[in-house]
A = this chain, B = another copy of it.
Amino acid sequence: MESFVFINDDFVTEEKGLLHYRDLSIQRGYGFFDFFRVRDKVPIFLKEHLDRLFRSSEIMHLSIPLSRETIKSVIYSLISKNGISDSGIRITVTGGYSGNGYSLTNPNIIISENQFTEPKEVQYKEGIRLALYPYQRQLPEAKTIDYLMEIWLQPYIHLHAADDILYFRDGAITECPRSNFFIVTTGGEIHTAGENILKGVTRSRIIKAAMGHFELKERNISPDEALQASEAFICSTTKGILPVTVINGKPIGNGKPGPATQLLGRLVHTAQMTGSEV
């Protein structure tokens, strides 16, 4: 089956998904995006992802060239045309074709769909390893295309026998490059950063899911607190909830995924599978 991508005002076949080199994403790294799951041809948490897309647009001073209703209609057409049941859809908005190479102009919008590959099952069973790195994402509340440091740090991750990076700055942990970070304290509370982060859709789901089960606090967590936590986990649209069992080579808690992480994982997984409120 031929695969389609939507660019600006038209569906084109995958190989025709092209931007001119003058686009400000290519020239100046200027753009933002959002990404959501599609299960059985149903977009999951679409409202929340579109809310965040429009929030990124405001922060970046870059208006989205299509209405919310048109974007929705394009998404459903794309799902129908491509015929993939289980996919990820990405909406990318760039600075456009700029005459002088830095002034913002008419943005370009690309809506693309990919077959979704589930993260490895072993990572859910055994947890992942993080390596701390001092860094603060630029314009953290916008989902910009700026992943310069994440990509640049791939050899660092490998060198430190880790699976991903955990950013901190001025004594406070913020987030992983593409996930939010939580700890479960030895007192059984759930803590996560409340500022200088991208507020993930799955993060919001966890905060809701935790109500009635746990005390939850949004606050600055120091690297030391994280190392001494009872449990830790990360979350994202792609991963759901993924236990963190090692930070900087040190086991967290007993070095295995803990009960609070597993309970939250079950609660949020149900919501993610159905798009329902938890």
Residues of A within 8 A of B (CB): 5, 7, 15, 17-31, 60-61, 92, 94-95, 102-104, 110, 112, 138-139, 144-152, 154-155
A61 to B95, CA, bound (A): 26
Contacts A18-B20, A112-B21 given; indicate if A148 touches B139 (C-beta within 8 A).
Answer: yes
Nearest-CB distance from A110 to chain B (Å)? Answer: 5
Contacts A5-B21, A7-B21, A25-B25 given; indicate if A30 touches B148 (C-beta within 8 A).
Answer: yes
Most B Cβ at <10 Å: residue of A5, A112, A138: A138
Q: A21 to B92, Cβ gap below 8 A?
A: yes
Contacts A21-B112, A151-B95 given; indicate if A144 touches B26 (C-beta within 8 A).
Answer: no
Task: Summarize A's interface: helix, strand, loop or mixed.
Answer: mixed
Contacts A21-B19, A26-B23 given; indicate if A102 touches B151 (C-beta within 8 A).
Answer: yes
A92 to B28, CA, bound (A): 11
Write the chain B residue with the least CB distance to A114.
Answer: B101
Contacts A7-B21, A18-B20, A92-B21 given; indicate if A148 touches B138 (C-beta within 8 A).
Answer: yes
Residues of B within 8 A of A110 (CB): 21, 26
Nearest-CB distance from A172 to chain B (Å)? Answer: 17
Residues of B within 8 A of A60 (CB): 152
Q: B20 to A92, Cβ gap below 8 A?
A: no
Residue from the list B15, B95, B102, B148 in contact with A146, Cβ < 8 A: B148
A244 to B260, CA, bound (A): 58
Residue from the list B26, B104, B149 in contact with A19, Cβ < 8 A: B26
Nearest-CB distance from A17 to chain B (Å)? Answer: 4
The 4 closest A-B pairs by CB, nearest first: A29-B29, A28-B147, A18-B18, A17-B21
